[in-house]
């Protein structure tokens, strides 16, 4: 298998996830202009926080019970929320 066939590595920081989403949003979410940018920002920051909690838990650097890898949550099974940062 050639190295170009592998999935590129991706940092789990909010900045990196946001940059990756911005590069793919035209192709993956053509409706993005119809939605407030805060919805995407809060989703990216929540994802980054969940991934950081998972990583810290796996390393033993997080207090409390172990945290598993974040799961996709259907909008039918959870309470929708959004945060406004500005």
> Which residue is associated with the tokens 């409390």?
64
Q: What's the N-to-C CA distance of the chain in angstroms?
A: 46
Residue 1 pLDDT > 60, yes or no? no
pLDDT in tens, 22-63: 999 999 889 889 988 888 888 888 889 999 989 898 888 888
pLDDT for 27 equals 92
Provide the mean pLDDT of the chain.
83
**Neighbouring C-beta atoms of residue 44, cutoff 10 Å:** 20
**Which pTM was predicted?**
0.71
Q: How many residues does the chain have?
A: 86
Residues 6+ apart with CB under 8 A from 13: 48
């Amino acid at each position: 298998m050639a190295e170009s066939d592998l999935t590129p590595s991706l940092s789990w920081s909010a900045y990196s996830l946001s940059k990756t989403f911005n590069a793919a949003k035209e192709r993956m979410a053509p409706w993005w202009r119809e939605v407030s940018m805060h919805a995407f920002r809060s989703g990216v920051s929540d994802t980054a926080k969940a991934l950081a909690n998972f990583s810290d838990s796996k390393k033993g650097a997080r207090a409390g019970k172990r945290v598993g890898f974040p799961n996709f949550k259907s909008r039918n099974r959870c309470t929708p929320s959004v945060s406004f940062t500005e």
